[in-house]
């Protein structure tokens, strides 16, 4: 057995011991939404326009117990969803999860990302959340996924960030040292870790971080094990993240949590510093943001396989476009809503009137028509678009 195979076997054993995520099974569709798992919303974020079809092939690469797979299947009923994972036990839970909730458009297969070429055809959309950083060779893993992405297809990825997980990495090392030759006994690792936290001084930095940030979800042993006794983890910085991305020959489309990557939230009140930052490359600005605000625990972002040409709406083209309401919105119809990221948002009367018109006649009216009805100017429409409240089609 090669070292890579040994690592993969250890990862599979962890998730056979503690299937993850440990979310309960439901006999109905899961509540709410995650716009990153909604094909129309995700594609519109990447391309600036509504996709041409809903009948897409989706790969959930590293599905675990199928929490994300279930959402993808229900949010995209016309899609064909294929889900793979190393852990046989996690696959069993995932299959039962989708059967019980009626997600009949999802199929499951125990398979490594390294062996994804065994799957037939290509995929329009790949979801790979919380997986690549657990591979012994993430670059090879991403390249394998890229080879299965159809031209013009998109992939959403989530990997860990080193700065915000500094205390986690120290506790991982502490547990491993105390386990010694029992490392790989994941139940023992959980017991050791819980004992450490219970007896560290109350003002200890590692204990404070756990209590403030992670303790609620880590009440469950599966979550604690995934965080603190995982046999394989690679945490990234912006610099090493883009080394990973560049290895794939895919186009970087942007982070799917763009508000974090807005430098104005940190230095917007200091014009001199903003002028200096404007001289930096985009990647240097990303690095500046993460070192100034080192709370980030992960990166989530979209890549695309060329050719992929996002729409840059000119004023004239925008006026002729057909708008519709973003389906990932909670509390509608109301001027007080939760947006696609479940953040509270208050719409003005004019904004509400515009979105209401979009919702009443999706795809049957133009931006110009809605603007006239709502008494809204074109910059306000661009604001609705940037806040992911509307989706456009030509």
- CA separation (Å) from 124 to 101, 283, 303? 24, 27, 12
Are 167 and 27 members of one domain?
no
Are 17 and 132 members of one domain?
yes
Are 156 and 244 members of one domain?
yes
Tell me if 126 sits within 8 A of 100, measured CB to CB. Answer: no
For residues 359 and 384, give the distance between their C-alpha atoms in angstroms, rounded to a whole number.
14
Q: Is the peptide bond before 307 cis (omega within 30 degrees of 0)?
A: yes
Say which CATH number the domain at 115 has.
Answer: 3.40.50.150
Are 151 and 44 members of one domain?
yes
Are 168 and 255 members of one domain?
no
Are 115 and 67 members of one domain?
yes
Which position has the token pair 């929490």? 67
Q: Is 269 within the bounds of a domain? A: no
List per-residue pLDDT tens for the chain, 394 residues long: 788 899 999 999 999 999 999 999 999 999 999 999 999 999 999 999 999 999 999 999 999 999 999 999 999 999 999 999 999 999 999 999 999 999 999 999 999 999 999 999 999 999 999 999 999 999 999 999 999 999 999 999 999 999 999 999 999 999 999 999 999 999 999 999 999 999 999 999 999 999 999 999 999 999 999 999 999 999 999 999 999 999 999 999 999 999 999 999 999 999 999 999 999 999 999 999 999 999 999 999 999 999 999 999 999 999 999 999 999 999 999 999 999 999 999 999 999 999 999 998 887 899 999 999 999 999 999 999 999 999 999 8
Are 108 and 254 members of one domain?
yes
Task: Return the closest-CA partner of residue 136 out of 65, 259, 234.
Answer: 234
Tell me if 352 sits within 8 A of 340, measured CB to CB. Answer: no
Give the pLDDT score at 3: 87
The DSSP call for residue 349 is H
Tell me if 97 sits within 8 A of 75, measured CB to CB. Answer: no
Q: Is 192 within the bounds of a domain? A: yes
Residue where a domain terminates, one of 211, 228, 245: 228
Give the pLDDT score at 34: 95
Give the pLDDT score at 328: 96
Q: Is 278 within the bounds of a domain? A: no
Q: Left, alpha or beta for 167 (phi > 0: left; psi -120 to 50: alpha)?
A: alpha
Are 77 and 22 members of one domain?
yes
Give the pLDDT score at 388: 97
Tell me if 46 sits within 8 A of 303, measured CB to CB. Answer: no
Are 199 and 115 members of one domain?
no
Number of domains in the chain: 3
Are 139 and 65 members of one domain?
yes
Give the pLDDT score at 261: 97
Q: Per-residue b/e over 167-179, b at no fewer than 16 CB within 10 Å?
A: bbeebbebbbeeb
Q: Which two tokens stand for residue 281?
A: 């490359």
Are 95 and 73 members of one domain?
yes
Are 23 and 117 members of one domain?
yes
Give the pLDDT score at 155: 98
For residue 375, the SS3 value is coil
For residues 323 and 122, give the distance between their C-alpha atoms in angstroms, rounded to a whole number.
30
């Amino acid at each position: 057995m090669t070292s890579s195979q040994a690592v993969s076997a250890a990862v599979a054993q962890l998730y056979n011991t503690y299937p993850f995520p440990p979310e309960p099974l439901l006999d109905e569709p899961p509540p709410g939404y995650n716009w990153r798992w909604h094909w129309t919303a995700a594609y519109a974020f990447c391309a600036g326009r509504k996709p041409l079809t809903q009948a897409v092939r989706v790969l959930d690469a590293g599905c675990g117990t199928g929490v994300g797979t279930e959402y993808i299947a229900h949010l995209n009923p016309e899609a064909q969803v294929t889900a793979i994972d190393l852990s046989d036990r996690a696959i069993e839970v995932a299959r039962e999860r989708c059967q019980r909730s009626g997600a009949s458009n999802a199929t499951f297969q125990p398979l490594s990302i390294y062996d994804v070429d065994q799957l037939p055809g290509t995929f329009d959309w790949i979801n790979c959340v919380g997986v690549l950083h657990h591979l012994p060779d993430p670059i090879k893993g991403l390249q394998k996924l890229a080879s299965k992405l159809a031209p013009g297809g998109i992939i959403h990825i989530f990997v860990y960030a080193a700065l915000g997980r500094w205390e986690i990495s120290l506790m991982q090392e502490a547990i491993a040292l105390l386990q010694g030759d029992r490392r790989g006994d994941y139940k023992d690792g959980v017991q050791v870790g819980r004992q450490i936290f219970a007896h560290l001084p109350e003002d200890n930095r590692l204990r404070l971080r756990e209590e403030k940030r992670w303790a609620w979800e880590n009440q469950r042993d599966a979550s604690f094990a995934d965080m603190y006794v995982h046999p394989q983890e690679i945490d990234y910085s912006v610099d090493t993240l883009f080394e990973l991305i560049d290895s794939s020959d895919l186009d970087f489309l942007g982070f799917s949590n763009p508000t974090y990557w807005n430098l104005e939230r940190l230095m917007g009140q200091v014009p001199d510093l903003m002028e200096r930052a404007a001289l930096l490359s985009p990647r240097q600005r990303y690095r500046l943001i993460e070192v100034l605000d080192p709370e980030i625990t992960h990166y989530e972002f979209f890549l695309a396989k060329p050719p992929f040409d996002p729409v840059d709406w000119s004023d004239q083209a925008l006026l002729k476009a057909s708008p519709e309401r973003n389906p990932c919105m909670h509390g509608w119809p109301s001027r007080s809503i939760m947006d696609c990221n479940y953040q509270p948002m208050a719409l003005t009367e004019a904004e509400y009137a515009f979105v209401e018109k979009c919702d009443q006649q999706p795809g049957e009216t133009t931006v110009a028509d809605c603007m006239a009805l709502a008494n809204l100017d074109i910059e306000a429409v661009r604001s609705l678009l940037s806040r992911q409240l509307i989706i456009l089609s030509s």
